[in-house]
């Protein structure tokens, strides 16, 4: 129980700080550290994300960063998508879910690394200033 509370605290901190979904951290931590199977870890993560999302949204609303209409549309459509996802998760073998989750995380890491490298090149080019005309 203490380990689960620590996972929740760290996941919430990362969610608020980085804007990531807690499931990115919760699911692997629950399977590796707590010993839950993939389906139970995903289900637990889905429920754990609700208060994290509500608190994070409330704080961001206070800062003026929340677009309520977009958030409502995403939330409604996500809730509908969850119905199909849960049915699929219960029908698929656990190994397929683990591999799919791992591929999702690897793709996200690839995208973040690519964006970081592109941003680095853009910052470097901006620091050098505009190109000079030939004399």
SS3 74: helix
What pLDDT does residue 62 have? 93
**Average pLDDT rounded to a whole number, residues 81-100:** 93
What's the Rg (C-alpha) of the chain? Answer: 19
Mention every residue, 6+ apart, whose C-beta is less than 8 A from residue 134: none
Picking from 22-36, 67-81, 99-113, which range would have the lowest pLDDT averaged per residue?
22-36
Nearest residue to 40 via CA among 97, 100, 108? 97
pLDDT band (50, 70, 90) for residue 26:
confident
Alpha helical stretches, state H, the chain: 2-18, 23-29, 38-63, 68-91, 94-128
- DSSP per position, 102-129: HHHHHHHHHHHHHHHHHHHHHHHHHHH-
**Average pLDDT rounded to a whole number, residues 28-37:** 91
Q: What would the two tokens of residue 13 be?
A: 């901190």
Q: What is the mean pLDDT of the chain?
A: 86
pLDDT band (50, 70, 90) for residue 132:
low
Q: Note whether 41 and 26 are within 8 A (CB).
A: yes
Nearest residue to 47 via CA among 28, 17, 23, 81? 23
What pLDDT does residue 56 have? 82
Q: What would the two tokens of residue 127 be?
A: 């620091």
Is it the case that residue 135 has pLDDT exceeding 60? no
Q: What is the number of other CB atoms lying within 10 angstroms of the CB of residue 42?
A: 20
Of residues 15 and 9, more confidently modeled:
9
Of residues 36 and 26, more confidently modeled:
36
Is it the case that residue 21 has pLDDT exceeding 60? yes
């Amino acid at each position: 129980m203490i380990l689960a509370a620590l996972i929740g605290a760290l996941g919430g901190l990362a969610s608020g700080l980085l804007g990531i979904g807690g499931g990115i951290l919760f699911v692997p931590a629950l399977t590796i550290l707590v010993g839950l199977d993939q389906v139970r870890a995903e289900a637990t993560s889905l429920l754990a994300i609700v208060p994290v999302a509500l608190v994070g949204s409330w704080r961001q609303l206070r800062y003026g960063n929340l677009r309520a209409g977009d958030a409502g549309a995403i939330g409604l459509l996500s809730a509908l998508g969850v119905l199909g996802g849960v049915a699929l998760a219960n029908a698929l073998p656990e190994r397929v879910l683990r591999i799919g989750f791992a591929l999702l995380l690897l793709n996200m890491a690839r995208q973040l690394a690519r964006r970081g490298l592109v941003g680095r090149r853009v910052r470097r080019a901006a620091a050098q200033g505009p190109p000079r005309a030939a004399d």
